[in-house]
Structure 1
Amino acid sequence: MGIMWVMILWVFGAAVGIGRGGDVTYDGRSLMVDGHRQIFFSASIHYPRSTPDMWPSLISKAKEGGVDVIETYVFWNLHEPQPLQYDFSGRNDLVRFIKEIQAQGLYAFLRIGPFIESEWTYGGLPFWLHDVPGVVYRTDNEPFKFYMQNFTTKIVNLMKSEKLYASRGGPIILSQIENEYGNVEPAFHEKGPVYVRWAAKMAVDLQTGVPWVMCKQPDAPDPVINTCNGMRCGETFPGPNSPNKPKIWTENWTSFYQVYGGEPYMRSAEDIAFHVALFIAKNGSFVNYYMYHGGTNFGRSGAAYVITSYYDQAPLDEYGLIRQPKWGHMKELHAAIKLCSTPLLQGVPTNFSLGKLQEAYVFEEPSGACVAFLVNYDPTRTFTTKFRDTWFKLLPRSISILSDCRNLIFNTAKVSTEKKNTRITTPEINFEAEDKWEAYRDLVLNYLNSSLRANKLLEHMNTTKDKSDYLWYTFSFQSNTSCSNAQLHVQSLGHVGHAFVNDNYAGGGHGSHTSKGFTIDNSITLNNRINNISILSVMVGLPDSGSFLERRYAGLTEVRIQCSDETTAYDFENYEWGYEVGLQGEKLGIYEEENLGNVNWSSNITLFNDQSLTWYKTAFDAPMGENPVALNLSSMGKGEAWVNGQSIGRYWVSFHTPKGLPSQTLYHIPRSFLNVSNNLLVLFEESGGDPLQITLNTISVIDSTGHVSLYKS
């Protein structure tokens, strides 16, 4: 049977509609809905990384791509920003998101966590947990377990009240508790396994009526299913810890997250398809693509050093545009596997060698229904083999799927070339007119104006409570008259630092995702009077992984001034310091229209050329049409951008990759953020940048024939 017939059958089947409730159980072959085994393909789409206006289109495109299930994490820090105070509005409207999945006839997979990692700041934990007396995260610790159970129960009860579990007629067929805990479990010694058993029992006792999973958790206790995360689960996953549990791939990474200073990871459609087919051939029955649509880390939601664009190389890119050939190749793979689902789920599996680097996986029913997966692991050679009296050419590093064990219906390495496309950006507006801009330089804090004092260097995160990326450290001192050619030395475990001496910029430094600290060593000029030293410590997201997150340290660890005579040095580690959380412009909310008058803006922005800590504002009209919109910030340095008071994320264009390029220059402005005219754009620039070179662009895709695909909402 040709692939066209496969697609016709698949489209017909998808049109019938699924995901409308049912009794969900499982056996050793698959999840079962109303007693029927099924193979599921799932798409990770995170509701807060897009907008409610985008959700219908994203879900529709996933469905068109042959997906059965939409997966999302639940983001604890968004929903419970303060203890027992909840927010389910706007991008946080989880119920609306799940109901949209249901309306489009798909199932849902709810990964509650509530620790999620996900390259999300603090792994999704609300920072107020840090101040709970005696708390130790993610272990057999009563304070943590109390709040974790409270939030998990809140989400489960919300889903029950809205009848969103399949057991109550809704779309949710699967839930997850905890996340990749096996990575950190040994650090907690005997308390780790105790916590695993507690978390599993706590979740199961909530009686959702659907199964629970724990990913990367080999010791997940019954009835919780242990699952695999990674790029090669067909090769790396030893399988569930009970023969009565199905083989589930919770995260099939379609690319990889990117950090500032890091290159993008480009995973091919062929590689994804190979490993999906191999997983299915080895009795896998549930594959979730992480991510199917990554979206945007709006505001300050990205974890440490993670860029604002998230998994842009997924089958649906950051803007929700179809990325070919990934999307189309997976769609054809899904159709081929669905065509053969009956023998895959009911047939007797066998496996045998075809050659040194080749093997066959065959599923056959007594009725004669049959499917075969012919695998060629050789990365360079085509292998010709005879299978059931027919010769087949197995392409390098590929899997051939044979329906009825005879007809080739899909090969993982054979991509339809006509389905390739290229994303193009079209400049619509430039911001080169100086008279359209105004600027304001934020205040450099001095010791006398600081609101918090301490005789030591305070830890950054515990001081800011994640209310801002920024923490001022400042002190005053009078040097000896003989201290000439002074050298300022700063050592930090924060992400970025900017030093000022008597209000003048004195240099900066930053770390990286792989280097957890940095130093500043710069010559400074001191006067014979009181000198004010101010250092702005900056975080670019909080850590999102590892054990004992509550103990992590950030911020300054050492500050001293060395005079040129090499015998005179001032050590300020245990000194009288002043502190201030956040910037003046942040506190005054000058990125919002109603607060613009809280500072005196200057219309002569040339005075601010190469100035640090500068706010810029201008207005613009929205581009015509429906194509996605992005701001090109390639001329800027580092900071944050707001449109009509909504943050479109951090930017860090000045941090280049090993190839000498910025990790990200285009910043998504969702259409729902925009008015038809007079949109307010505000930028906060830490270290320079030229706003006159910014452009506003629309995004579209062009296929291999030169045809431009318009955005479909």
Structure 2
Amino acid sequence: MAQLMHNLREREMVGWVLVLWLGMAVVAAAALGGQVRYDGRSIIVDGHRKLIFSGSIHYPRSTPHMWPSLISKAKQGGLHAIDTYVFWNLHEPQQGQYYFSGRRDIVRFMKEVHSQGLYVCLRIGPFIEAEWSYGGLPFWLHDVPGIVFRSDNEPFKIHMQNFTTKIVNMMKSEKLFASQGGPIILSQIENEYQNVEKGFGDKGPPYVRWAAEMAVGLKTGVPWVMCKQDDAPDPVINACNGLRCGETFVGPNSPNKPAIWTENWTHFYDVYGNITKVRAAEDIAYHVALFIAKMNGAYINYYMYHGGTNFGRNASAFSLTSYYDPAPLDEYGLIRQPKWGHLKELHEAIDRCSNTLLYGTKTNLSLGPWQQAYVYKGERNECAAFLVNANGANAAAVRFQNQTYNIPRKSISILPDCKTEAFNTAKVSSKESRRKMAAAVELASVEMWQELDEVVAVFDETSLRSNRLLEQMNTTKDTSDYLWYTASYEQSEESQSTKISVNSGGHVLRAFVNGEFIGSEHGTYRNQSLVLEKNVSLKRGMNNISLLSIMVGLPDSGAHMELRTSGLEKVRIGETDLSNHPWGYQVGLKGEKMQLYTEEGSRKAKWRKLSLASRLKWYKSKFDAPKGNDPVALNLASMGKGEAWINGESIGRYWISFLTPLATPSQIQFHIPRSFLKPRDNLLVLFEEEWGSPLGISVDTVSVTMA
């Protein structure tokens, strides 16, 4: 009997331990989940006001293999949430055909964020801009009869609502909204619409109202936001995007809405030909602290916290393959100092007094002509202060509560207890990191390479014909960057010098006459159109005119994107206008159709030894993966312009020959995610448009050292 009682008590204790453990698990889940609402001070999760630091990490700009590390480093950096767009054109590239695997696996990404104890802001859009091709809209929308993008237009609204509803229902089915115990505490509908609203006239305001009503009607149990939309309809929260929202934001459009900053730009996105401008950690920290102090800011999202890579052809017009590399986590996922560490210290200082900031009463005190104190006091005499020196030229010594504080120029000192300075935005303690690229595999031998010519298209071999110059995007349907315009031109007598003139809407043009290259031109990000003028020799009789028009990404912004055009607009030979002449078209390259970048397509082709004799060439080689776990990059400094593939995966476009005003390429290193690699015999294929030499290519490992 004694043994029986002992066993019963033991089982009872185990039962209580199990109940306690389950209870703790429920509490842990509730810390992330629960009902989400808001008031004039903050987002409220499960009854508690939250001051949230968030960072943008876009799931398709990295890989599932990288996600856990990126999210972990974001959490270590003091973030409470991860922000991502939803990329419509990735998920529904053809109408009704959906893809959610690999880098597209948004549910897996959400669950990884949740597993690490962070919240999510899900920016569905579904127009996103984001320096992403066509602003994330799938190109098939262009062909919907009567459609006007982002307007009070029934065809667009039907498809926008269908996709938004699909994403919301997917999140609901996986119980990913915080109202279901998941991580999503905010969702966004539309994106920076106020920038283009006037372009839609009287069709703009009703579209805003419809989008808000449609989103709220999906009943997610979490608030919706609209960024850069000062008149966001209730109950949608209007949010700020920009560099200095503490100075530029008009504020919430209702006293019952919190101040939210959805995009605090940690950098300036880069385009080919521009000089990179790196935003200093001190400037970011200053404006975060000012937004919190002055605006009662309760949600700040860093755009980007990790930029990543525009794999394939996903970068928008003229945008680099590398995206927001100078963010706190660089393109490869490595910590970039001092930005990461300085912001981490800022977050720690704010977290120390967040309760006072969220529940206390604020007063403002003048400390000088450029100096001010924002003081928060709680019911139990808690006190937190921000001492601001807005003077960009000189430091200041200020008196606050009978103490003197020396504040550097253009900086803010944070006093979590109104006494001791815990952080100053201009005082950086984190040492600067430096990225090191080390060649692990050098592909410098002729024997390591094979080549194949891309055939110059001619009129007689084309099947698509028209008596006019066709617009490029509508012709290619975004299946390729390349469109051949071909014509047969009869010359009555041999000519040693005939002028050919071509006007194009962009972005790059390469011209051939009778199979011989005669010249090329390209536009720029600010002026994407171009004019090519060359004197050529024509033979008597029929001449083949072959013009390769190349796009470097689709547009991603502006009103009426459905009306945007590209490709050739006018062609003249001598005094003859060929614009309404019979033209033959070839969409894409022969090598693309053959899929030369895949193992199967590569095996079927008849490659030859390297000769480096002409333009428009395919190159292939094989290499073993570098040892270790360091990130890997492909050094293409010796190339011109084209695209690169590893084992059939495109690592993006390259354009080494487009130099900045400093006479340097915009980007020479291209990220190869480790998950793209096999231990041995990795297939590297490049399509090169110019005279680049593959003999200078190397496969590098990437590491970080401290300065």
Same-fold status (TM-score > 0.5): yes
What is the rounded CA distance, in whole Å, between the counterparts of 2:510 and 2:298 in structure 1? 52
Report how many aligned residue pairs link the two structures: 680
Shift of 1:454: 0.3
Equivalence for 2:19: none
Output one character per residue of 1:479-538: Cα deviation in whole Å (capped at 9) or x when no partner: 121643111111100200000000011110000100121111112111012100000000
Give the counterpart of 2:229 among 207, 217, 225: 217
Cα separation, 2, equivalents of 1:507 and 1:19: 63
CA distance in 1, matches of 2:353, 2:28: 18
**Structure 1 unmatched runs, 5+:** 1-14, 563-568, 705-713
Amino acid of the structure 1 residue aligned with 2:393: T
Aligned-residue offset at 1:18: 7.8
Shift of 1:377: 1.1
Q: CA deviation at 1:687?
A: 1.1
Contact 2:374/2:386 (8 A) holds in 1: yes
Map residues 144-223 of structure 1 onto 2, 5 A cutoff. Answer: 144-223=156-235
Partner letter of residue 339 of structure 2? Answer: K
User: Per-residue displacement from partner, 1:623-655 (whole Å, max 9, x unpaired)?
Assistant: 000000000101000000000000000000000
Name the amino acid aligned to 1:72: T
Tell me, in whole angstroms, the C-alpha distance in 2 between the residues paired with 1:189 and 1:478: 49
Matched, 1:67 2:79: yes
1:170-200 Cα distance to aligned partner (Å, 9 max, x none)? 0000000000000011111111010000000
Output the CA distance in 2 between the equivalents of 1:487 and 1:388.
Answer: 79
Report % sequence identity. 61
- Given candidates 437, 448, 454, the residue that maps to 1:442 is 454
* Further displaced range: 399-408 or 62-71: 399-408
Question: Contact 2:494–2:539 (CA<8 Å) still a contact in 1?
Answer: no
CA-CA distance at 1:353 after TM superposition: 1.6
Which of 70, 75, 96 is the equivalent residue of 1:58?
70
Higher mean C-alpha displacement, 140-149 vs 78-87: 78-87
Quote the residue 1:8 is aligned against.
Answer: none
Q: What residue number does 2:327 align with?
A: 314
- For the residue of structure 2 that corresponds to 1:300, the secondary structure is coil
Instruction: Give 1:243's aligned amino acid.
Output: P
SS of 1:279's equivalent in the other structure is helix
1:592 partner amino acid: T
Alignment of 1:260-339 (within 5 A): 260-282=272-294, 283-339=296-352
Aligned residue for 2:15? none
Counting only pairs closer than 5 Å after superposition, residues 197-596 of structure 1 correspond to structure 2 as: 197-282=209-294, 283-417=296-430, 419-481=431-493, 483-562=495-574, 569-596=575-602
How far apart, in 1, do the equivalents of 2:38 and 2:211 lie? 20
Task: Say whether residues 1:642 and 2:654 are aligned partners.
Answer: no
**Could you tell me how far apart the structure 2 residues matched to 1:362 and 1:506 are?**
69
Could you tell me whether the CA contact under 8 Å between 2:55 and 2:74 is conserved in 1? Answer: yes
CA distance in 1, matches of 2:365, 2:464: 71
Structure 1 residues 355-364 or 584-593, which shifts more?
355-364
Report the CA distance between 1:380 and its aligned residue.
Answer: 2.3
Q: State the Cα RMSD in Å.
A: 1.1
Residue 37 (1) aligns with residue 49 (2): yes
Q: Tell me the CA shift for residue 19 of structure 1.
A: 5.7
- What amino acid is aligned across from residue 47 of structure 2 in structure 1? G
Q: Which runs of 4+ in 1 moved over 4 A?
A: 15-19
- Equivalent-residue separation in structure 1 for 2:140 and 2:28 (angstroms): 46
Match of 1:600, as an amino acid?
K
How much has 1:597 moved relative to structure 2? 3.2
State the SS of the aligned residue for 1:322.
coil
CA–CA distance in structure 1, aligned partners of residues 522 and 528 of structure 2: 9
1:693 aligns with 2:696: yes
**Which amino acid is the alignment partner of residue 674 of structure 1?**
L
Please give the alpha-carbon distance, in whole angstroms, between the structure 1 residues aligned to 2:573 and 2:135. Answer: 37
1:204-245 deviations in Å (ceiling 9; x for gaps) = 000000000000001110000000000100000010110100
Of 152, 155, 167, the match for 1:140: 152
Residue 538 of structure 2: SS of its match in structure 1? coil
Q: Does the alignment pair 1:613 with 2:616?
A: yes
Match of 2:634 in 1: 631
8 Å contact from structure 2 (residues 29, 181) kept in 1: no
Residue matched to 1:601: 607
Task: Write the deviation string for residues 401-434 of structure 1: whole angstroms up to 9, x where unpaired.
Answer: 01221111000000015x3211111111111110
Deviation at 1:477, TM superposition (A): 1.3
Letter in 2 for 1:71: D
**1:65 and 1:268 mapped to 2: Cα distance?**
17
Q: Specify the alignment match of 2:667 in structure 1.
A: 664
Determine the C-alpha separation between the residues in 2 that align with 1:375 and 1:296. 37
Q: Any idea what SS the aligned residue of 2:608 has?
A: coil
Mapped to 2, the partners of 1:21 and 1:343 lie a distance apart of: 23
8 Å contact from structure 2 (residues 389, 408) kept in 1: yes
> What TM-score do the two structures reach when normalised by structure 1?
0.94
2:36 equivalent in structure 1: 24
Which amino acid in the other structure matches residue 659 of structure 1? Answer: L
SS of aligned partner of 1:594: helix
- SS of the aligned residue for 1:651 comes to strand
The answer to whether the Cα contact below 8 Å between 1:19 and 1:171 also exists between their aligned partners in 2 is no
Give yes or no for contact 2:495–2:537 (8 Å, CA) kept in 1: no
Q: Offset of 1:16 from its aligned partner?
A: 7.8
SS in 2 for 1:336: helix
For residues 35 and 482 of structure 1, the distance between their equivalents in structure 2, rounded to whole angstroms, comes to: 85
Greater CA drift, 590-599 or 316-325: 590-599
Contact 2:514 2:543 (8 Å CA) reproduced: yes
Unmatched segments (≥5 aa) in structure 2: 1-26
Query: What is the aligned partner in structure 2 of residue 6 from structure 1?
Result: none
| 2:90 paired residue number | 78
Of 654, 657, 661, which aligns to 1:651?
Answer: 654
CA distance in 2, matches of 1:413, 1:341: 21
2:135 aligns with 123
Distance in 1 separating the partners of 2:695 and 2:301: 43
Q: Deviations over 1:560-590 (max 9, x none)?
A: 112xxxxxx2210111000010000000101
Question: Counterparts of 1:363 and 1:355 in 2: how far apart (Å)?
Answer: 19
- Within 2, Cα distance between the matches of 1:619 and 1:533? 36
Confirm or deny: 8 A CA contact 1:19 1:102 kept in the other structure. no
- Report the alpha carbon displacement of residue 143 of structure 1 after superposing the two structures with TM: 0.3
Residues 30 and 38 of structure 1 are in contact (CA less than 8 Å); yes or no, is this contact kept in structure 2? yes
Aligned to 1:109: 121
Contact kept? 2:495, 2:539, Cα under 8 Å:
no
Contact 2:494/2:538 (CA < 8 Å) preserved in 1?
no
Counterpart in the other structure of 1:4: none
**Rounded Cα–Cα distance in structure 2 between residues aligned with 1:262 and 1:377:** 30
Distance 1:600 1:574 in 2: 38
Residues in 2 aligned to 1:204 and 1:366: alpha-carbon distance in whole angstroms:
36
Listed one character per residue, the Cα deviations across residues 114-158 of structure 1 (whole Å, up to 9, x for unaligned) are: 000000000000000000000000000000000000000000000
- Structure 2 length-normalised TM: 0.95
**CA–CA distance in 1 between the matches of 2:656 and 2:351?**
44
**Alignment deviations for residues 350-375 of structure 1 (CA, whole Å, 9 cap, x no partner):** 11221111111111123210111000
